[in-house]
A and B are shown apart, each in its own frame.
Chain A
Amino acid sequence: DTGVSQDPRHKITKRGQNVTFRCDPISEHNRLYWYRQTLGQGPEFLTYFQNEAQLEKSRLLSDRFSAERPKGSFSTLEIQRTEQGDSAMYLCASSSRAAMRTEAFFGQGTRLTVV
């Protein structure tokens, strides 16, 4: 397994456009997380899936944001009507249920620039 994979790595979009990012977790991991990281800051939690169920959402996840994990494998994060403030690195992570609190493995992220 090559780890958590995110696509695309970079995305430049015009304000007002919709964008969608994809995350492929480590294959045996049933937990999947999305985080957002802006320049000079640590990652901030957006949402969490266990299998296909979205169990937790941060207040940072406005109505313009939606995440899905339809078959409990890959996940997508869509941002509608993008704003300049959405420019950030979007990180995906996955972890296993094998232990009570095992570490999360992160992908390389998708860097979004809204112009």
Chain B
Amino acid sequence: AQKVTQAQTEISVVEKEDVTLDCVYETRDTTYYLFWYKQPPSGELVFLIRRNSFDEQNEISGRYSWNFQKSTSSFNFTITASQVVDSAVYFCALSEGGGQAGTALIFGKGTTLSVSS
């Protein structure tokens, strides 16, 4: 069965602190995709990154970085030097299969990040 677990419900940090959001997934497929989305108070889910199961290279984009480890089924997200604008709910999601159909995203419950000044 497929599942995404975000064990951290809420995290509070002070500006400029680094913060890591954890994501653990379960799947029986060998081909799958992992995603992170940000949901600010406005409600719209904003795509951050997609990673396929064959690409374990870590990625850095500005203050954001992602650590994908198949051995531990984890896809963690780190924000370096956090800012108040980073305050949002962050979702990790899984999409299974390598087929043609646009299969659904399976989301975790999200981690609420609060960054104070």
* Residues of A bordering B, CB below 8 Å: 31, 33, 35, 40-45, 48, 50, 55-56, 58, 89, 91, 93, 95, 97, 100-109, 111
Assess whether A50 is in contact with B102, with CB atoms less than 8 Å apart: yes
Assess whether B101 is in contact with A101, with CB atoms less than 8 Å apart: no
Assess whether B93 is in contact with A42, with CB atoms less than 8 Å apart: yes
A42 interface neighbour in B44, B91, B98, Cβ under 8 Å: B91
Name 25 interchain pairs, CB-CB below 8 A, sorted by A: A31-B102, A33-B102, A40-B109, A42-B108, A43-B45, A43-B91, A43-B105, A45-B104, A48-B103, A48-B104, A50-B101, A55-B102, A56-B103, A56-B104, A89-B43, A91-B45, A95-B102, A101-B50, A101-B95, A103-B35, A106-B37, A106-B44, A106-B45, A108-B43, A109-B43
* Residues of B bordering A, CB below 8 Å: 4, 33, 35, 37, 42-47, 50, 52, 91, 93, 95, 98, 100-110
Complex interface: chain B residues within 8 A of A58 (CB) = 104
A104 interface neighbour in B42, B47, B100, Cβ under 8 Å: B47
Alpha-carbon distance between A19 and B93 when the two chains are bound, in angstroms: 29
Alpha-carbon distance between A105 and B108 when the two chains are bound, in angstroms: 17
Question: Given A48-B102, A55-B101, do A42 and B109 touch, yes or no (CB 8 Å)?
Answer: yes
Complex interface: chain A residues within 8 A of B44 (CB) = 106-109
Q: Which residue of B lies closest to A96 (CB)?
A: B102
Q: Which residue of A lies closest to B106 (CB)?
A: A45
Q: Which residue of A lies closest to B102 (CB)?
A: A31
Assess whether A45 is in contact with B43, with CB atoms less than 8 Å apart: no
Alpha-carbon distance between A111 and B45 when the two chains are bound, in angstroms: 14
Complex interface: chain A residues within 8 A of B100 (CB) = 100
Q: Which residue of A lies closest to B4 (CB)?
A: A42
Complex interface: chain A residues within 8 A of B52 (CB) = 101
Assess whether B47 is in contact with A101, with CB atoms less than 8 Å apart: no
Question: Given A40-B109, A42-B109, do A56 and B47 touch, yes or no (CB 8 Å)?
Answer: no
Alpha-carbon distance between A33 and B103 when the two chains are bound, in angstroms: 9
Q: Which has the most chain A C-beta neighbours within 10 Å: B37, B45, B101? A: B45
Assess whether B107 is in contact with A44, with CB atoms less than 8 Å apart: yes
Q: Which residue of B lies closest to A4 (CB)?
A: B44
Least Cβ distance of A95 to chain B in Å? 6
